[in-house]
Amino acid sequence: MMKTTLMFGLLFGACTCLSSTATTTPGDLDPHARDYMRFRTACQTSGLSSPALLLGKASSMEKIMPRGRFSALPVTKDGLAVRLAGNEYESVQLLVAPTDSDLADVKVRVEGDLKGPNATFAATNVACDVTGYVKTTSRPPYKVGRAVPANDAPGYTRKIDDPVLGWWPDPILGFLDGIEIKDIDVQSFWIRVHCPAGQPAGTYRGALLVSAKGVETVRVPFAVRVNGFTLGRTSALPLAVTFSPEPNVQMEPPEGLAAAGARRADPLSPINMWRKHEREWVSFLADYLIPYDSLYHGSDMNRLRAIKQLKEENRLGWFNLGYWSYPASTNADEMAKWRERTIPRLVNFYEGAKAIGTQDYAYVYGCDEVSKDFFPAIRAAVRELKEALPGVPVSTTAYDHEFGVDTPLDVMDWFTPLTPKFDPEKAAASRKAGHQVWWYICCGPHTPFANMFIECPAIEGRLLMGAQSVRQRPDGFLYYQISIWNSKRCIESGPFTDWDPRSWTKFHGDGSWTCVGPGGTPLPTVRLENFRDGLEDFAYAKLLEAKLAQHAAADDDWAKRAKELLAVPRDVMDTMENYTGDPAAVYRWRDAMADLLESPRPL
């Protein structure tokens, strides 16, 4: 049924009616309606022609608010395109909005295998999933921002605001088929391409089909360019990331311990339902380059099942033997008590790992964010650990910002400061002394430093794991939790979901990069996608670094360009606080590395 009006103000609570003959100007409308009208005009003047729906495009590094402020380009006759290497994933967003009528049974699918000059690219490698939305209803304790290039010069101006409340894109709902798109909602479809190893290099062309009930199907040209090199199946940057589903016991009032207890007791809650699909979750995380691990487990022997599975899949990464804390003091009695409650369980887990041939990937983590007052006790404990577990690295986030150089913690192996505390010069000195220096984020830092809250620009996660890691060169990345799930039920419908975006206390998405779908199945998020994309950018840099090292003495144009890219161009990142908000800058850097990797190196 044709509508004569479109209802505005879905996010802001007000309604404005606009008919096809209305004289209302964009300035009279709420912000989403103004953005919609600009988008509509652009689509109708330069986009693919369709009387019933509007088609737009956005990169994977952008968050398109369905009922809030958004900026998007129309899909033109050139369609959409991605470029990627073997074993890589890369995504783009196709946006769909109604013109004058609600849309029913909206679907996006690939037309068939994509055709190249001498081969095909299988349609099964292209997923066209519905982007889902979660609703924030309370102000979080942080601000967010975006960087804007300043006069095309290396340097940025940064707009910092309180996060907008409302519907935010986050879960990716691969289980949904046809959906409704109403009023002036702008719906994202997440087009994710996976290139299998061995796929011949070249450009493959085909189409995406956008259909809706009673609407003529629109064919969107789609191209995939495959690079002539392949990435590894595990992260090129070592990771220590916790997956241990739990509700948050510090939820803001009136919830808290009681609510967390109810979630644990409820067999239908996400924190229980996921266990029915444990093997699927292990492989899912590995697809996102995350080893199955926990910083805080108590040497849970059941975790060896997942570790064995990853070994069998040839995707094993670092894993923790169990959390340890410092003794109350260094006197003999306290050390004996500490030894009794700590050493046997860690050794037991190590022996279990050794029995399945995975002991070389074991580390032990402890003393989470501990101050220098406890360094003497930590030092004594580390000596005991090294005696009981020779060769196993000992890791910490204790606040030693000299990273073991002339400090009591010179016995530690891996130091892990928060990203703003990472000092490349001090890290270099620490490495000379035999240590590693990783870095981490958690509920901090806040803008202008990159983080991965639901309201953070999506590009921040990709830059942190990609360009910022290439420039600063931490030895690894640590994150305390990706599965704080406070929702009562799994996501079973959408795109507007009832998933609770609150995670750690009043934060949105901190410690929660995954969601749970029907029956306990895994769902990724826009943030998790960008995390992986950043790690893949880092992998490009590692491959380029290795190729450069093959001719270390050369000083030709290829080598000069490689060194420039490995230093990270300033239009991508100037400092940790000053970096681009423009996805095009990231693509230029990444594709320039790909061009060098594909080009023959002059001898």
Is the pLDDT at 412 greater than 50? The verdict is yes
Contact indicator for 453, 140 with CB cutoff of 8 Å: yes
Task: Give me the phi and psi of 122, to 5 degrees please.
Answer: -60, 135
Percent of the chain past pLDDT 90, that is, above it, reads 86
Q: 196-228 pLDDT, tens per residue?
A: 999 999 999 999 999 999 999 999 999 999 999
According to DSSP, the β-strands at 6-7 and 73-74 are unpaired
Q: Counting beta carbons within 10 angstroms of the beta carbon of residue 596, is it exposed (0 to 12), middle (13 to 18) or buried (19 or more)?
A: buried
Nearest to 586 by CA among 572, 600, 602: 572
Stretch 227-244: mean pLDDT = 98
Nearest to 47 by CA among 82, 70, 73, 69: 73
> In sequence order, what DSSP letters do the residues of 316-379 get, joined into one string?
---EEEEEE---S-SSHHHHHHHHHHHHHHHHHHHHHHHHTT-GGGEEEEE-TT--GGGHHHHH
Is the pLDDT at 350 greater than 90? The verdict is yes
Q: Which residue's entry shows tokens 């490698």?
A: 125
Percent of the chain past pLDDT 70, that is, above it, reads 93
Q: Which residue's entry shows tokens 């003794």?
A: 327
Provide the CB-side half-sphere exposure for 441 (13 A, CA).
Answer: 22
Is the pLDDT at 177 greater than 90? The verdict is yes
The amino acid present at 345, given as its one-letter code, is R
Q: Give 68's strand partners.
A: none
Contact indicator for 234, 535 with CB cutoff of 8 Å: no
Q: 25-78 pLDDT, tens per residue?
A: 445 569 999 999 999 999 999 888 789 999 999 999 999 999 999 999 999 999
Q: How far apart are CA 86 and CA 449, in angstroms?
A: 32
pLDDT at 259 (0 to 100):
81
**Sign of torsion, CA 294 448 584 539?**
negative
pLDDT at 157 (0 to 100):
79
- Residue with more model confidence, 353 or 5: 353
**Sign of torsion, CA 160 164 167 171?**
positive
Q: 74-98 pLDDT, tens per residue?
A: 999 999 999 999 999 999 999 999 9
- Structural domains in the chain? 6-230 (2.60.40.10), 239-529 (3.20.20), 547-598 (no CATH)
Q: 569-579 pLDDT, tens per residue?
A: 999 999 999 99
Is the pLDDT at 254 greater than 80? The verdict is no
Q: 456-466 pLDDT, tens per residue?
A: 999 999 999 99
Q: How confident is the model at residue 600 (pLDDT cuts 50, 70, 90)?
A: confident
Stretch 350-377: mean pLDDT = 97
Is the pLDDT at 547 greater than 90? The verdict is yes
Q: 102-155 pLDDT, tens per residue?
A: 999 999 999 999 999 999 999 999 999 999 999 999 999 999 987 777 666 567
The amino acid present at 299, given as its one-letter code, is S
pLDDT at 331 (0 to 100):
95
Is the pLDDT at 1 greater than 80? The verdict is no
Q: How far apart are CA 349 and CA 299, in angstroms?
A: 6
Q: How far apart are CA 184 and CA 66, in angstroms?
A: 8
Stretch 581-589: mean pLDDT = 96
Q: 426-445 pLDDT, tens per residue?
A: 999 999 999 999 999 999 99
Give the per-residue SS3 of 95-121: EEEECCCCEEEEEEEECCCEECCCCEE
**Sign of torsion, CA 474 283 367 527?**
positive
Mean pLDDT over each residue of the chain, to the nearest integer: 92
Cβ within 8 Å of residue 564, ≥6 positions away: none
Q: How far apart are CA 75 and CA 210, in angstroms?
A: 12
Q: How far apart are CA 176 and CA 133, in angstroms?
A: 13
Nearest to 128 by CA among 197, 171, 82, 177: 177
Contact indicator for 386, 407 with CB cutoff of 8 Å: no
Cβ within 8 Å of residue 519, ≥6 positions away: 273, 276, 277, 490
pLDDT at 159 (0 to 100):
84
Q: How confident is the model at residue 253 (pLDDT cuts 50, 70, 90)?
A: low
Q: 484-538 pLDDT, tens per residue?
A: 999 999 999 999 999 999 998 899 999 999 999 999 999 999 999 999 999 999 9
Is the pLDDT at 20 greater than 90? The verdict is no
Q: How far apart are CA 115 and CA 221, in angstroms?
A: 12
Contact indicator for 442, 479 with CB cutoff of 8 Å: yes
Q: Counting beta carbons within 10 angstroms of the beta carbon of residue 571, is it exposed (0 to 12), middle (13 to 18) or buried (19 or more)?
A: buried
- Residue with more model confidence, 204 or 11: 204
Stretch 390-406: mean pLDDT = 98
Nearest to 93 by CA among 124, 126, 60, 115: 60
